[in-house]
Chain A
Amino acid sequence: MISYLKTNTLSSTSMNQVLIFVGLALISGFGLSFGIHSLLVGHDQTFGTSREVPWGILVSPYVFFACLSTGLCIVSSLGQVFGIDTFRPIVPRTVFLALITMATGLMCITLELESPWRVGFYALLSPHQSSNIWWKTTIYSLYLIFMLFNFMSLALKKKKRAKIFAIIALVTVTMGNLNMNSDMELLGARGFWSENYMPLYFLSLSTLTGCAAILLFSWLGKVFGGQILNIEDHRALKSTGKLFMVLLLGILYFTGVKVMGGFFPQFTKNPEAMSLLVQGGFALNFWIGEVALAVLIPLGLILVTRGTNSNILAIAGFSCLLGVFVLFYDLVIVGQLIPHYYQYNVVDLPKYYTYNPSLHEIMITTGAIFFFLAAFVLGEILFKKTYSS
């Protein structure tokens, strides 16, 4: 157990903190340099994707960070939009986390594009209003700007202005999240994820990851800054923990629906993909990642400690984030592995297509994660006062 003391003093930035930031930034730069190399030589040389499986692992961190940012925005709105006092202490850090997670997500998707230099030009000059991808990217880019203004207003203690930007950002990111679902649903031609529960599932998952990130990074922030949690912080984390637990139960239900679909084809619109996920080649990912890490372990930890121990809450949050990352990897990849002409008795057509992430893709993903971590540490160094106010 940890003791809860009210602390008013903020420690100055130490050399160790700067070194940690530099170390994380260097690893991030090294990882992302693989992305630059891929852009120069072409993805056919460096990526594990193919004609049959065109989307690789890099789409997963994009979806993961975008959903995480959505969740962080939703939880931050509890304090700054809906005025729930308990959540107020965690608002500034949560808003900053929402900002950097979305930036990381957009960076991932940019590096996943083969010709990203055309985006700026033709997304503006030749927009396609029927395209969910266009809407999603536009919405998320606007959201990033709104969150930036939200954080700046918080840093400048302009509460009213901050609230206005928070409301706009909340509406915007919810629209983006619903687009994310439509995006996947449109690809239903290939047995992708077009289940009826998906919009609610995406929104619940997003809020869940938001809570998990707050539990983990609030704790990490305090450890990094050498501070002790004060009573308000602890109360906020405890409330976040309760919300986290309720959402875990909700996601447990959706996971149950997946299991049903995996074993009984009549419960799903894409039985081949669900079977591959639940009892096929992705079963290890599903049962360890999506079931154990994402739901059961965090739920067990919270129930055992009754959600009062901040250290345990942080571990539960970490476990959940890890599991949900695996979940999004499965979500992106599994649907693509169903062959286009699987019902036509085609000779030599495999039962499932295969995809394995290449070194470049793994390094870029690692670089993106470390980019986020470096940005988080930078935030802890630069915005101590904002966080503690």
Chain B
Amino acid sequence: MKVKDLENLNNEGVDSLSSKERRRFLQFGLSITGVFLGGSIFSLTSALKAQGALRGGNIPVTDFPYSPHYTMVIRQNHCIDCERCLEACRSTNSVPAHGYRTTILERSVPIAQDQRERIFMPILCNHCNNPPCVRVCPTQATYKDETNGIVRMKPEKCIGCKTCMAACPYNARYFNEENRAIDKCDFCYDTKLKESGGKITACAAACPANVRIFGDLTDPESDAYKLIHSPDKVVWVLRPETDTLPNVFYMNA
């Protein structure tokens, strides 16, 4: 149907809508709002369930499985690609020159005809709640920390099969030739969190534009919690179709 045809139609008004249809419409709206506003929903429900919610399905909301439940919010429109986060990560975690734990991708997104927007998108391990890398590891060299949900490594157990690298949808892992094991972001658990009581990661501390907000999803006072639960902001995750339930969230704020 063309726009002109639509304009010629009579307005039926809302009086003729049945209460059943109204309810369905409201449920649909609430579902969409829930999907975009609830950080816990992104973290705990699968992509399929989220898609189901978009179609008017039910979203089971449960407690966060970890305490503290570490997360990172990336305010990507603040990123200027200064790469201080990358340098901080390298120096703090002794990352060799041949690898990286985090990097910044440069995107060129079409916004109108012949117009593109340049966006810098920092990426790192998403510390997924359903991590394919953990599932495939034959020796439990990589594992999900039962306390805080960080996907960590025990390098001494790594046999170098690189299946986790092949399984990771985020290209978040590399093989460290120095200790002959896979290396990845652990939210600076070994180098900062464990020693300083779990406050902030090296990359978040180094960022001059507050792009990377590290925090705890179970702590309402945490900046990350507040951002994810801001009702006026849209939150999203990378590659939701892979059903990994990431704990790194993206937003423009």
**Cα of A226 to Cα of B217 in the assembled complex, Å:** 75
Is there an interface contact between B167 and A131, defined as CB atoms closer than 8 Å? no
The stretch of A142-150, A303-311, A314-322, A342-350 in contact with B is A342-350
Is there an interface contact between A345 and B159, defined as CB atoms closer than 8 Å? no
Return the contact of B159 from the options A122, A130, A188, A189 (Cβ within 8 A): A122
* Interface of chain B residues 168 through 217 with chain A (CB within 8 A): 168-171, 173-175, 177, 180-181
Is B89 interfacial (CB 8 A cutoff)? Answer: no
Contacts of A131 in B (CB 8 A): 135-138, 163
Return the contact of B138 from the options A54, A114, A137, A190 (Cβ within 8 A): A137
Contacts of A155 in B (CB 8 A): none
The interface bits of chain A over 51-80 (1 if a CB of B lies within 8 angstroms of the residue's CB, else 0) are 110110000000000000000000000000
Is B140 interfacial (CB 8 A cutoff)? Answer: yes
Is there an interface contact between B163 and A133, defined as CB atoms closer than 8 Å? yes
Return the contact of A189 from the options B109, B168, B175 (Cβ within 8 A): B168
Is there an interface contact between A113 and B138, defined as CB atoms closer than 8 Å? no
Return the contact of A44 from the options B163, B165, B170, B177 (Cβ within 8 A): B177
Is B253 interfacial (CB 8 A cutoff)? Answer: no
Contacts of B169 in A (CB 8 A): 189-190, 340
Is A160 interfacial (CB 8 A cutoff)? Answer: no
Is A116 interfacial (CB 8 A cutoff)? Answer: yes
Distance in Å: Cβ of A70 to nearest Cβ of chain B: 20
B interface residues, tally (CB under 8 Å): 43
Is there an interface contact between B105 and A341, defined as CB atoms closer than 8 Å? yes
Contacts of A51 in B (CB 8 A): 99, 165, 171, 173-175
Q: A116-B160, A345-B110 are in contact. Are A186 and B132 (CB under 8 A)?
A: yes
Complex: chain A residue closest to B139, CB-CB: A122
Distance in Å: Cβ of B237 to nearest Cβ of chain A: 13
Return the contact of A115 from the options B135, B158, B174 (Cβ within 8 A): B158
Is A118 interfacial (CB 8 A cutoff)? Answer: yes
The interface bits of chain A over 308-340 (1 if a CB of B lies within 8 angstroms of the residue's CB, else 0) are 000000000000000000000000000010001
Is A132 interfacial (CB 8 A cutoff)? Answer: yes
Q: Which of B106, B110, B138, B175 has the most CB of A within 10 A?
A: B138
Q: A55-B166, A186-B167, A346-B107 are in contact. Are A119 and B135 (CB under 8 A)?
A: no
Is there an interface contact between A346 and B166, defined as CB atoms closer than 8 Å? no
Distance in Å: Cβ of A360 to nearest Cβ of chain B: 15
Is there an interface contact between A128 and B175, defined as CB atoms closer than 8 Å? no
Is there an interface contact between A347 and B181, defined as CB atoms closer than 8 Å? no
Return the contact of A186 from the options B135, B162, B239 (Cβ within 8 A): B135
**Cα of A312 to Cα of B166 in the assembled complex, Å:** 41
Is there an interface contact between B98 and A348, defined as CB atoms closer than 8 Å? no
Q: A51-B174, A131-B135 are in contact. Are A344 and B121 (CB under 8 A)?
A: yes
Complex: chain A residue closest to B157, CB-CB: A122
The interface bits of chain B over 130-168 (1 if a CB of A lies within 8 angstroms of the residue's CB, else 0) are 001001111111000000000000001111111101111
Is A18 interfacial (CB 8 A cutoff)? Answer: no
Q: A54-B162, A114-B160, A134-B139 are in contact. Are A347 and B106 (CB under 8 A)?
A: yes
The interface bits of chain A over 341-371 (1 if a CB of B lies within 8 angstroms of the residue's CB, else 0) are 1001111110000000000000000000000
Complex: chain A residue closest to B161, CB-CB: A113
**Cα of A192 to Cα of B132 in the assembled complex, Å:** 13
Contacts of A49 in B (CB 8 A): 162
Is B242 interfacial (CB 8 A cutoff)? Answer: yes
Complex: chain A residue closest to B160, CB-CB: A114
Q: Which of B121, B140, B238 has the most CB of A within 10 A?
A: B140
Is there an interface contact between A133 and B167, defined as CB atoms closer than 8 Å? no
Distance in Å: Cβ of A50 to nearest Cβ of chain B: 9
Return the contact of A347 from the options B107, B135, B165 (Cβ within 8 A): B107
Question: Interface residues, chain B, CB within 8 Å of chain A?
Answer: 98-99, 105-110, 121, 123, 132, 135-141, 156-163, 165-171, 173-175, 177, 180-181, 238-239, 242, 244
User: Can you offer 24 A-B residue contacts whose CB atoms are under 8 A?
Assistant: A43-B160, A44-B175, A51-B165, A116-B160, A118-B139, A118-B156, A122-B141, A123-B138, A127-B139, A128-B139, A131-B138, A131-B163, A132-B136, A133-B163, A186-B132, A187-B132, A187-B136, A189-B239, A190-B166, A341-B105, A341-B171, A345-B110, A347-B105, A349-B105
- Which 4 A-B residue pairs are closest in the complex by CB-CB distance? A114-B160, A134-B138, A189-B169, A54-B162
